[in-house]
């Protein structure tokens, strides 16, 4: 079972190309355990999770993403850029614009290529954010929204702006993103009963009307170097709080690098950034057999 490890701003995933079904060596039920096993840096490869690239009957291709803890997520911005680069570079995509189905909906991607026809930047139409609590999901009035809403969690007050980019995000604004113990407050917010499906936690400092700092505690993966859906959610949240102007391209500084995010006047959020290969390899058959024995 061959894999390709890639990263988007240091948010790294192990990709499996399942477009040629003959290669599909593992039962669908095994992938959560495969993600847990491979994401471990000691007993596995080490990553923030795994990504399956599959055929789709709704779009040109399909992406499924599993977090480090084995939970399957509905969207992954950095993962989408990695998948788009992989698909174009491996000649599955024959045009620079194509669509990718996620559990959170179908997204459009466009790859920018260099003189060697290798992908340098990927532009993703991440679609429209979902603001209603019932869509995030978040406890409370399902037709209500959470903008700068005060919540006491584990004795600490947070002013949360919450939304979904296909996956749930809770954003808290601060003066300095490094002044907050993310390793402590991240799991407290992630596991809060406020969020029936847990939540990705973003800490944001808006530096100007064109840029912001953002750190993330990811649902199912903990602190990562970057979160594409989270960067999108942060720009929407900052705009809703009137810290930013709609339709302006915003530079989001993440620990792993920068993304450019724009929430346009039609309601779509656009993300532009890079994706890179790390390595290629093969999963040992004994590891696959152990997973099959454990799961099936």
Ligand X SMILES: N[C@H](CCC[C@H](N)C(=O)O)C(=O)O
Binding residues for substrate: 11, 67, 77-78, 167, 200, 218-219, 228-229
Please measure the distance between the N-terminal and C-terminal CA atoms of the chain and give it in whole angstroms.
18
Give the residue with the Cβ less far from ligand X, 37 or 81: 81
Nearest Cα to 242, choosing from 182, 156, 161, 134?
161
Q: 9 exposed, middle or buried (CB, 10 Å; 0-12, 13-18, 19+)?
A: buried
Please pick, from the candidates 192, 221, 234, 239, the single residue that binds ligand X as defined by CB under 6 A.
221
Q: Please, what is the minimum distance in Å from the beta carbon of residue 51 to ligand X?
A: 10
- 11: contact with ligand X by CB under 6 A: yes
Q: Are the C-beta atoms of residues 129 and 189 closer than 8 Å to each other? A: no
List, in sequence order, every residue forming a beta bridge with 130; answer none if it has no partner.
164
Give the residue with the Cβ less far from ligand X, 46 or 288: 46
Only segment of 106-114, 156-164, 177-185, 228-236 that touches ligand X (CB under 6 A): 228-236
Q: Find the helix or strand (DSSP H, E) in which 249 lies.
A: none
Half-sphere exposure at residue 168, Cβ-oriented, CA atoms within 13 angstroms? 25
Q: Please, what is the minimum distance in Å from the beta carbon of residue 57 to ligand X?
A: 24
Q: Are the C-beta atoms of residues 228 and 81 closer than 8 Å to each other? A: yes
Half-sphere exposure at residue 95, Cβ-oriented, CA atoms within 13 angstroms? 8
Q: Are the C-beta atoms of residues 67 and 215 closer than 8 Å to each other? A: no
Task: Give ∠ CA 96-47-176 in degrees, rounded to 5.
Answer: 90
Would you call 162 a catalytic residue per the annotation? Answer: no
Give the residue with the Cβ less far from ligand X, 74 or 151: 74
- 76: contact with ligand X by CB under 6 A: yes
Please pick, from the candidates 4, 32, 67, 239, the single residue that binds ligand X as defined by CB under 6 A.
67
Binding residues, by number, are 11, 67, 77-78, 167, 200, 218-219, 228-229
Rounded to whole angstroms, the Cα distance separating 221 from 224 reads 7
Q: Please, what is the minimum distance in Å from the beta carbon of residue 65 to ligand X?
A: 6
Would you call 227 a catalytic residue per the annotation? Answer: yes
Q: Please, what is the minimum distance in Å from the beta carbon of residue 211 to ligand X?
A: 19
Q: Are the C-beta atoms of residues 109 and 100 closer than 8 Å to each other? A: yes
- 227: contact with ligand X by CB under 6 A: yes
Half-sphere exposure at residue 27, Cβ-oriented, CA atoms within 13 angstroms? 10
Would you state the structure tokens that stand for residue 198, as one six-digit string?
A: 């847990």
Of the candidates 82, 162, 227, 232, the residue annotated as catalytic is 227
Only segment of 51-59, 75-83, 93-101, 173-181 that touches ligand X (CB under 6 A): 75-83
- 77: contact with ligand X by CB under 6 A: yes
- 234: contact with ligand X by CB under 6 A: no
Give the residue with the Cβ less far from ligand X, 11 or 32: 11
Of the candidates 30, 76, 82, 162, the residue annotated as catalytic is 76
Give the residue with the Cβ less far from ligand X, 69 or 89: 69
**Total number of residues shown for the chain:** 296
Only segment of 26-34, 72-80, 129-137, 139-147 that touches ligand X (CB under 6 A): 72-80
- 164: contact with ligand X by CB under 6 A: no
List, in sequence order, every residue forming a beta bridge with 64; answer none if it has no partner.
52
Task: Give ∠ CA 89-31-135 in degrees, rounded to 5.
Answer: 85
Q: Which residues make up the interface to ligand X (CB under 6 A)? A: 11, 65, 67, 73, 76-79, 167, 200, 218-221, 227-230
Which residues belong to the active site? 76, 227
């Amino acid at each position: 079972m061959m894999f390709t490890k890639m990263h988007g701003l240091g948010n790294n995933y192990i990709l499996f190309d399942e477009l040629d079904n003959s290669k599909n060596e593992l039962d669908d039920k095994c992938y959560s355990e495969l993600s847990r096993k491979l994401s471990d840096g000691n007993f596995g490869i080490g990553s923030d999770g795994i990504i399956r690239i599959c055929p789709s009957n709704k779009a040109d291709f399909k992406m499924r993403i599993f977090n480090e803890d084995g939970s399957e997520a509905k969207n992954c911005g950095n993962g989408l850029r990695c998948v788009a680069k992989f698909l174009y570079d491996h000649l599955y995509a024959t045009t620079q614009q194509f669509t990718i189905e996620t559990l959170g909906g179908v997204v459009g991607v466009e790859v920018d290529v260099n003189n060697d026809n290798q992908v340098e930047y990927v532009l993703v139409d991440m679609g429209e954010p979902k603001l209603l609590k019932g869509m995030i999901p978040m406890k409370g009035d399902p037709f209500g929204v959470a903008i700068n809403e005060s919540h006491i969690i584990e004795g600490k007050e947070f002013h949360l702006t919450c939304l979904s980019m296909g996956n749930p995000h809770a954003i808290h604004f601060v003066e300095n993103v490094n002044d907050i113990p993310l390793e402590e407050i991240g799991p407290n917010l992630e596991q809060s009963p406020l969020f029936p499906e847990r939540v990705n936690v973003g800490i944001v400092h808006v530096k100007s009307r064109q840029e912001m700092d953002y750190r993330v505690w990811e649902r199912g993966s903990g602190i990562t170097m970057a979160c594409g859906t989270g960067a999108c959610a942060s720009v929407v949240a900052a705009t809703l709080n009137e810290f930013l102007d709609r339709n302006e391209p915003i530079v989001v500084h993440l620990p792993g690098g920068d993304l450019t995010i724009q929430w346009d006047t039609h309601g779509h959020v656009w993300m532009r950034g890079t994706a890179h290969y790390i390595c290629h390899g093969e999963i040992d058959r004994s590891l696959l057999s152990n997973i099959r024995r454990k799961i099936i």
